[in-house]
Amino acid sequence: MIKGRLYTAGGLDQSRELDPDELYHDSDSDWDDASDDDIHFRLPVGKNHFYQYHAMQNKWSQLPAMNIARNSFPMVYLDNFIYAIGGSNESGIEITDVERYDLRQKEWKMLPPLPERCRTLSAVAFKGKIIVHGVTSAANNPITLQPQVKYVLQVYHPNSKYWQRAHSEVHGMSDESRHVSPPHLFLHKDTCYRVSYTRVPSTIQTPWVYAPITKPCVQVLDLEVLRDNDGLDSVTTVKIGESISQEHIPENSVGAFRIGNEVFVSQNGFSYCTGITITSDQVEDVDVDQWNSFIDAGGLGDGGMTCFTFDRKKLEH
């Protein structure tokens, strides 16, 4: 939400139907002669659409399209610009293209691409920079020969218009880590966090019933910027802190975690405040009745957020 307006862009459309004449028959290296009545295929088509929703007017409007069609990508707002970063094309291949929309000039311009191609991107604007977190494949462990993945943090410097690889970690693909959600970045009260969770069996449900719950991992991220003799940014490093204690958070399946005395949920690569708090003198888990009332009230459904509301009076200001 930017100044009372909501923006959405890109995506896929199953609108192109594959003509039967395009079907290729592998066995005899010839095109299949299937008729239109035999079979129909629909291929995804990438979109570069860009829309704006004006909350006060309850109205959608179409804005200039992006230069690159993309889907599954993060968008970030910083200093009157909206950034569209990476994502995937219609074939599901990760792209590194980056562009930004000027809210004053009402036009898109291409920027330098991401230095490293990654999937499941998450991005935030923090301390005048843009931090992008992604996951990519890594070489197998040389000792165990087990597959590994690499978490990559890339930082964009808007003033100098360049990207920098700021941090990377290699994680082995153990049985447990296969159930880890891709980390995402989350801003709260001027602090940047990296949030992920592991799905593990419940310890209180019937032992023979696999009831997956979420075991969160929340870490503080900070930037350290080194400057050259002219006062310009030269090197930026990302520091990752220890995991924050998650005591008083009961077993749940909604990616719940705590920061201080506030409780959040993590769903579909985003984190949301529940309005549930933990008191400083609390010795028991979060009150179950309060927990259930949040879920029953429609805040969550089938593992995802179901609705968003806007306070129109606040938007007027």
pLDDT tens, residue by residue, 131-146: 999 998 877 777 777 7
pLDDT tops 90 at residue 215 = no
**Distance between CA atoms of 245 and 260, rounded to whole angstroms?**
9
Q: Name residue 45's beta-bridge partners.
A: 13
**Distance between CA atoms of 168 and 256, rounded to whole angstroms?**
26
CATH 2.40.50.90 fits 1-110, yes or no: no
Q: What is the largest CA-CA distance in the chain?
A: 74
Please give the model's pTM, rounded to 2 decimal places.
0.80
CB 217 within 8 A of CB 197: yes
**Distance between CA atoms of 196 and 224, rounded to whole angstroms?**
23
At 216-244, the pLDDT tens digits run 889 999 988 776 555 555 667 888 988 99
The proportion of the chain whose per-residue pLDDT surpasses 90, expressed as a percent, equals 36
Reading across the β-sheet that carries 75-78, which strands appear in turn?
A: 75-78, 81-85, 98-102, 107-111
The set of residues, in sequence order, having a beta carbon less than 8 Å from that of 13 and lying 6+ positions away, is 44, 45, 47
At 160-171, the pLDDT tens digits run 899 999 888 887
Residue-range domain boundaries for the chain:
1-110, 114-244, 258-317
The reported pLDDT for the residue numbered 27 is 46
At 157-201, the pLDDT tens digits run 998 899 999 888 887 765 445 557 789 999 999 999 999 887 777
**Distance between CA atoms of 253 and 197, rounded to whole angstroms?**
10
